[in-house]
Amino acid sequence: MRNKQLLHTMFYPKQFSKKRHVIHTLTGRFSKFGYQQVETPVFENYDLYNDVQGTVNTADMLKLIDPSGKVLVLRPDATIPIARHYTNLQEEVATGRLSYVLDIFRSTTEERSRTQAGVELFGERTPEADAELIALAVTSLKELEIPSFKIEIGHAAFYKELLREADLDAMQQKELDQYIQSKNISEIVPFLKDLGLEAALIEKLRKIPMLYGDASFVIDEAENIISSDKMREELDYVSRVYQLLQDYQVDSYISINLGLINHMNYYSGIIFQGFAEGLGQPIMMGGRYDYLTRSFHQETPAIGFAFEVDLLVDLLPGIFTEAEIIQLRYEASERQHAFQLAELFREANQTVIVKAFDKKENRSDSPEILVKSEEIVYSKQKEAAVFKTNQELLDWYFRKDVK
């Protein structure tokens, strides 16, 4: 059904200034929480992903062959390469906090490439670490002024634990995941009955998709389907993370969803995703993956999330007002003077385009400065002013801004 375009979306200047703003805001937030930015290679060995089971579907990766015949892939994920390098990075990054802004390539998305901005926190397996990440995600979205959003929190192992009793094969499990993900309650029961499961277990499984909404309600309801100590532990964990989020004062942005399933099955604990009003896809996804690093020598607990930058760009309200651009013109004799003046403006963070004066040129709405041999003339639409020296003009211009 869906047509795949071959190219990344082209960002025109107005759109791109939004994207720059999103990335700037997110990286600023990440760094204020102590996350240090890294970059992973664009080209990676196909074998890296082929060997780490249950991560990226090998069919979804964009592959290429280098001149020696080795198969490479375009970076299909950020978490896996960062987790792999973390063992080497450990000494440099004692806090275990890393962030990134990277293009991710997969053949499953329409554009085949998308920009993700995210963080990873290594070495801590505590509700405090989980809550820190979720709070970081919420405050980032607030700072971006995304109009209406919610973060859903679930637990990757809660439903899997219940499934253990059912003993399904991979195909059956995939089908059940699909029903639970789409909250397709009317079809879960006949499907499970066909598989010959016990009535009591069916009753528990069909409740999973509705374990959804306010924390107090969900946690109470979930009590009823707990059938092992492991499930109790997991539920307690979710509830401790939620209490921490209350102290962060971000709980109004949180929903609990114990029917949440992430298709990246390296997740082992808390999982979460963010939704914004008017968009069916998650704008953010993340979770705890304590065992992924096991594939790379040393096991380290870890948790991370990623924002979909391109979706956030679409959600940003209104049009961005661009910084004012000064058109600086000069008479032939004043060229050096004009270049100097332009540089003074730029040092003060002002955008300037310099050109030789041309009488025929159309007047625009943007401010113009004409450098003549005896004076400097500033004009903007009907407003005009004349100055003797650079300093007089600069003082006046920046005071005017303040007013």
Annotated binding site for L-histidine: 77-79, 106, 116, 120, 266-267
Dihedral sign from CA coordinates of 284, 26, 23, 115: negative
CA 262 to chain centre: 16
Span interacting with other proteins, options 60-68, 81-89, 182-190, 286-294, rule CB under 8 A: 182-190
Of residues 125, 150, 230, 240, which one binds other proteins by CB under 8 A? Answer: 150
Nearer to other proteins, 68 or 252 (CB): 252
Nearer to other proteins, 254 or 309 (CB): 254
- The reply to whether 351 sits near other proteins by the rule CB under 8 A is no
Nearer to other proteins, 245 or 370 (CB): 245
Kindly tell me the burial class for residue 125, based on how many C-beta atoms sit within 10 Å of its own C-beta (0-12, 13-18, 19 or more). Answer: middle
Span interacting with other proteins, options 146-154, 240-248, 340-348, 386-394, rule CB under 8 A: 146-154
Distance separating alpha carbons of residues 227 and 168, to the nearest angstrom: 18
Of residues 120, 124, 132, 152, which one binds other proteins by CB under 8 A? Answer: 152
Nearer to other proteins, 148 or 340 (CB): 148
The alpha-helical segments, DSSP class H, found in 67-184 are 79-89, 127-143, 156-164, 170-181
Distance separating alpha carbons of residues 307 and 305, to the nearest angstrom: 7
The secondary structure element, H or E, covering residue 365 is none
Distance separating alpha carbons of residues 2 and 121, to the nearest angstrom: 36
Tell the smallest beta-carbon distance from residue 191 to other proteins (Å).
11
Tell the smallest beta-carbon distance from residue 40 to other proteins (Å).
28
Of residues 8, 183, 337, 380, which one binds other proteins by CB under 8 A? Answer: 183
Tell the smallest beta-carbon distance from residue 162 to other proteins (Å).
20
- The reply to whether 213 sits near other proteins by the rule CB under 8 A is yes
- Nearest Cα to Cα of residue 159 among 180, 130, 131: 180
- Contact in structure between 153 and 257 (CB atoms under 8 Å): yes
- The reply to whether 276 sits near other proteins by the rule CB under 8 A is yes
Number of amino acids touching other proteins (CB under 8 A)? 21
- The reply to whether 296 sits near other proteins by the rule CB under 8 A is no
Nearer to other proteins, 41 or 147 (CB): 147
Distance separating alpha carbons of residues 250 and 257, to the nearest angstrom: 17
- The reply to whether 357 sits near other proteins by the rule CB under 8 A is no
- The reply to whether 186 sits near other proteins by the rule CB under 8 A is yes
Q: Which residues are annotated as a binding site?
A: 77-79, 106, 116, 120, 266-267
- The reply to whether 185 sits near other proteins by the rule CB under 8 A is yes
What CA–CA distances, in Å, run from 114 to 37, 101, 310, 311?
A: 18, 10, 7, 9
Distance separating alpha carbons of residues 135 and 151, to the nearest angstrom: 10
Span interacting with other proteins, options 237-245, 269-277, 341-349, 361-369, rule CB under 8 A: 269-277
- The reply to whether 108 sits near other proteins by the rule CB under 8 A is no
- The reply to whether 275 sits near other proteins by the rule CB under 8 A is yes
Tell the smallest beta-carbon distance from residue 257 to other proteins (Å).
8
- The reply to whether 148 sits near other proteins by the rule CB under 8 A is yes
For residue 360, the 8-state DSSP code is: T
Q: DSSP states of 25-65 as a string?
A: HHHHHHHHTTPEE----SEEEHHHHHHSTTSS-GGGS-EEE
- The reply to whether 85 sits near other proteins by the rule CB under 8 A is no
Tell the smallest beta-carbon distance from residue 274 to other proteins (Å).
9
The secondary structure element, H or E, covering residue 402 is helix 390-402
Span interacting with other proteins, options 239-247, 280-288, 343-351, 354-362, rule CB under 8 A: 280-288
- Contact in structure between 359 and 342 (CB atoms under 8 Å): no
Residue carrying the six token digits 């109009």: 147
Name the token pair of 367.
């401010």
* SS3 state of residue 161: helix
Kindly list the residues in this chain that would bind other proteins in the complex (CB under 8 A): 1, 148-150, 152, 182-187, 213, 255, 275-282
